[in-house]
Structure 1
Amino acid sequence: MPKIVDHDQRRLELVDATWRIIARHGIEGATMREIALEAGFANGALKPYFPTKDHLITFAFGHVFNRTNQRIAHTSAGKVGLEALRSFCQEVLPLDEDRINEARIVIPFWQKALTDPVKAELHETSMNQWRSAMEGYLRQARDRGEITTAVSDEDIVNQLMSMLLGAQIIAAMSPGAHLPAQLDAALDAFLQLLVP
Structure 2
Amino acid sequence: MAHKSRDQNIFRGVATVPKIVDHDERRLELVDATWRIIARQGLEGATMREIAMEAGFANGALKPYFPTKDTLLEFAFSHVFNRTNQRIAEVTEGKSGLAALRAFCLEVLPLDEERINEARIVIPFWQRAVNDAQKAGVHQRSMDEWLAAIRRCLQEARDSGDVTAAVDNHVLAGQLLNMLLGAQIEAALAPEGRTDFGHAAQLEGYLALLGKIPGGK
The TM-score range, normalised by the shorter chain, is: over 0.9
Report the AA paired with residue 148 of structure 1.
Answer: T
1:77 aligns with 2:72: no
Structure 1 position 174, deviation (Å): 0.5
What residue ranges of structure 2 are gaps of 5+ in the alignment? 1-21, 213-217
Question: 3-state DSSP class of the match of 1:148?
Answer: coil
Partner of 1:162: 178
1:111-190 alignment, distance < 5 Å: 111-176=127-192, 178-180=194-196, 182-190=198-206
- 2:83 is aligned with what amino acid? R
- 1:98-134 Cα shifts (integer Å, max 9, x gaps): 1000000000100010000111111000100000000
- Superposed CA offset, 1:158-191 (max 9, x none): 1111110010010000045844461100000011
CA contact (8 A) 1:170 1:178 kept: no
Q: Which has the higher helix share?
A: 1
Which of 82, 90, 96 is matched with 2:106 structurally? Answer: 90
1:41 maps to a residue whose letter is F
- C-alpha change, 1:181 and 1:116, in structure 2 (3 Å) is closer
The residue aligned with 1:104 is 120
Q: Paired residue for 1:42?
A: 58
Deviation digits for residues 37-62 of structure 1 (CA, Å, limit 9, x no counterpart)? 00000011100000111000000000
Amino acid at match of 1:61: F
Q: Is this contact kept in 1: 2:147–2:173, CA < 8 A?
A: yes
Counterpart of 1:63 in structure 2 is: 79
> Following the alignment from structure 2 to structure 1, what is the Cα–Cα distance between the partners of residues 71 and 56?
19
Cα distance change on mapping 1:54 and 1:23 into 2, 3 Å: same
Task: Give the equivalent residue in structure 1 for 2:215.
Answer: none
Structure 1 residue 94, shift from structure 2 partner? 0.4
- The answer for the alignment partner of 2:49 in structure 1 is 33
Maintained 8 Å contact 2:113/2:195: no
* 8 Å contact from structure 2 (residues 84, 108) kept in 1: yes
Provide the identity percentage.
64
Q: Moved runs in structure 1, 4+ residues, more than 2 A?
A: 175-181
Cα distance change on mapping 1:188 and 1:25 into 2, 3 Å:
same
How large is the Cα RMSD of the aligned pairs?
A: 1.3
The answer (yes or no) to whether the contact 2:112–2:195 under 8 Å persists in 1 is no
Unaligned runs of 5+ in 1: 1-5
Q: Name the SS for the 1:110 alignment partner.
A: helix
Matched residue pairs, number?
Answer: 191
Could you say what secondary structure the match of 2:53 adopts? helix
Q: Sort the Cα spacing of 1:10 and 1:177 in 2 relative to 1 into closer, same or farther, 3 A.
A: closer
Q: Distance in 2 between matches of 1:77 and 1:180?
A: 27
Offset at 1:70? 0.2
Give 3-state SS (helix, strand or coil) of 1:193's partner: helix
What is the one-letter code of the residue matched to 1:24?
R
Q: What secondary structure sits across from 1:28 in the alignment? A: helix
